[in-house]
Amino acid sequence: MTASASLTVALLLADSRLPAGAHVSSNALEAALRDGLAPTDVAGYVASRIRTVVLVEAGTAVVARALGPASDLDRLRAEWAARTPSRAQREVAGALGDGLRRAADVLWPGAVPVPDRRDSSWPRPIVLGLVAAAAGLEAEDLVRLIAYDDAQTIASALLKLEPGDPRAAAALVLEACALLEPRVAELAALTDPTHIPCAGAPLTEGWSEAQSALPRRLFRA
């Protein structure tokens, strides 16, 4: 496949129509709303994820991009897992990573190695980083992509769970991405797994666990 511009790759990976399974996630918004989070407070929830979960995932993805598929990905996964204490979050990230890896097998063959163990998966941020390396996605664009994807996942889920004005949801995404912009250059420069940000989010982690146990749910995560 011929090389594409970094922006083109970012647009493709950000497109919900990419057959990678991202539509199954609400980033635990479904459980959060059931637990009493008001729809008017969703912007705050998104902002809190930008300052915690997104920092970890963006840092992991950038390091994966820098190290490449021949590196010690098990070590990188361990560093990511140590910063992602919720078992439910880790399982969903693995499932989403598998979906993206299968898409990458066609679009960028060889970009993402198959895990050695059949019962293991590369989490989505690692897969995104490896795809970025193979596809020519610049590190700063990768960081912005992860922020956009996290915010857009919640905004899209909100319109299904609490239907409202789609324009307000779009504004929520823009505001969330702007919050990360001051950290983009710093995150894009990471190359060492031990330097990945460590930012806990106990409430988010609790909602992720609750989401995995909901008997009836619209979203898996």
And the tokens for 205?
Answer: 């982690």
Domain count, the chain: 1
- Condensed to tens digits (0 to 9), the pLDDT of residues 100-135 reads 999 999 999 999 998 876 668 999 999 999 999 999
Report the alpha-carbon angle 148-78-61, nearest 5.
Answer: 25
The verdict on residue 128 lying in a domain is yes
The verdict on residue 35 lying in a domain is no
State the first-to-last Cα distance of the chain, in angstroms, to the nearest integer: 33
The verdict on residue 91 lying in a domain is yes
Spans of the chain below 70 pLDDT? 1-3, 22, 117-119, 218, 221
Helix (H, G, I), strand (E, B) or coil at 23: helix
Helix (H, G, I), strand (E, B) or coil at 163: coil
- pLDDT at position 2 is 54
Distance, CA of 102 to CA of 203 (rounded, Å): 32
The verdict on residue 143 lying in a domain is no
Distance, CA of 109 to CA of 89 (rounded, Å): 27
Which structural domain, as residue segments, surrounds residue 88? 54-137+185-210
- pLDDT at position 141 is 95
Average pLDDT taken over every residue of the chain: 91
Distance, CA of 143 to CA of 157 (rounded, Å): 22
For residue 31, which of 156, 215, 164, 163 has the smallest C-alpha distance? 215
Distance, CA of 53 to CA of 206 (rounded, Å): 13
The verdict on residue 103 lying in a domain is yes
The verdict on residue 99 lying in a domain is yes
Distance, CA of 152 to CA of 46 (rounded, Å): 9
The verdict on residue 60 lying in a domain is yes
The verdict on residue 44 lying in a domain is no
| Helix %, strand %, coil % of the chain (to 5) | 65, 0, 35
Rounded to the nearest 10 degrees, the angle between the axes of helix 53-67 and helix 139-161 is 140
